[in-house]
Amino acid sequence: MRDEISRALFAEAKKIIPGGVNSPVRAFRSVKRDPVFIQSAEGAYIIDVDGNRYIDYVGSWGPAILGHNHPVVLEAVREAAGRGLSFGAATEAEVRMARLMIELVPALEMVRMVNSGTEATMSALRVARGFTGRDKIIKFAGCYHGHSDALLVKGGSGLLSETKPDSAGVSASCAQDTLVAQYNDLDSVSRLFEHNKGKIAALIVEPVAANMGVVLPVDGFLQGLREICTQEGALLVFDEVITGFRLGLGGAQGLFGIKPDVSCFGKIIGGGMPVGAYGGRREVMEMVSPSGPVYQAGTLSGNPVAMAAGIAQLSFLRGHPELYAHIAAMGEVLFSGLADLVKRKSVPAVINTIGSIGSLFWTEEPVFNLDQAMKADTSRYAEYFNFMLERGIYQAPAQFEALFVSASHSSAEIAKTLEAAEDFFNTLGGS
């Protein structure tokens, strides 16, 4: 593959942008190479500035569930942009989007639009504190909920590829009310509630963790969280920035049959445009200004172009439920194919997957929490990533991220991906 233009762009970017990128994982540091710069995308493919074409399993980190530049979404964006990019005022599109989300997700009675998943989770926890009159929150080690100060404690995703898991600049006083439990360990949750009686406002969790690689909840875990929060008078907050509308129209909560008090959503509800939302029980959401005393605002919240894209994408998914079956089927072919290769080639790796998302961990042990995920061989992942990239397969440039399959992926793309993976496994000495 050619990379002269990407290299030149990165050299220039490093002089004027911190680390040369506007989000850390884009720097490709954990895969030991310079990043590729993307120029365009279509369907299941992305094309970089050097003209290299890749099968894309990142999909802008999930929202491209229909594939890149889906015509229905693209046309909605063009029409909305023609009417104006931003008004800083109420629009009909905001009402339509809120109504659509409420119709699709049973736990939602009211919704507030924001601009990102980070804003959604930050705002949801502020509301939880305002509603309960309590200060402390519980999160899980390895679950990433955006970069707000209080949540940069034992975070996942790109933080796991750095030498320091938490962020400089986060004061001890800001983080002191954040308690950390072990994912899939109800006892760790119960102990925190026991030692902080009447002080915990909310527990926030990715119902399927996807920022330490994909880690599934064990049987009874999510139900146990629901029961504990109800018993303790704390709010259960589901961070569905990745799983929302990806694992089904009802998200992970619909799939597992758990009803959280508050839910957070991200870029998938904007078809990939900058957008987020949080919503839940009416009595909780009525705490939000101007209805209640919990302040949260944003000039671009409910941006008309982003709303148009989201309405188009979610409406298309609702009108074509067979797409979820197709995406899940393609995910099954990809991830079961990888699992079969791991077994046949005796490769020290495990596959975690659900629906259209999954991860290949370079470790022989099952992965159900952060400690187990951190045993993965990140150097081997870097070798695997670079080999696949050279073969035209674009995956997450970090071990602790998810792969996403879209409606645009066909058996041809999956077959090419598995062929490249087998070739890599063969370099490890497998039979």
Residue 144 falls in the annotated catalytic set: yes
Residue 183 falls in the annotated catalytic set: no
Which among 45, 54, 144, 384 is annotated as catalytic? 144
Tokens 């569905």 locate to: 240
Segments in 1-84 forming alpha helices (H): 4-16, 71-83
Which among 267, 278, 381, 394 is annotated as catalytic? 267
- 122 burial (CB, 10 Å; 0-12 / 13-18 / 19+) is buried
Closest CA to 186 of 364, 400, 368: 368
Task: Say what angle helices 304-319 and 71-83 make with each other, to 10 degrees.
Answer: 150
Angle, vertex CA 138, rays to CA 133 and CA 144, nearest 5: 125
Instruction: Supply the DSSP string of 140-156, one letter for each residue.
Output: ETT----S-GGG-SS--
Q: 88 and 296 in contact (C-beta within 8 Å)?
A: no
| Region at 80 (left for phi over 0; alpha for psi -120 to 50; beta for the rest) | alpha
Q: Write out the two tokens for 376.
A: 């993965």
Closest CA to 384 of 413, 419, 421: 421
Q: 34 and 83 in contact (C-beta within 8 Å)?
A: no
Closest CA to 306 of 144, 159, 135, 96: 96
Residue 261 falls in the annotated catalytic set: no
Which among 3, 56, 177, 239 is annotated as catalytic? 239
- Catalytic amino acids? 144, 239, 267
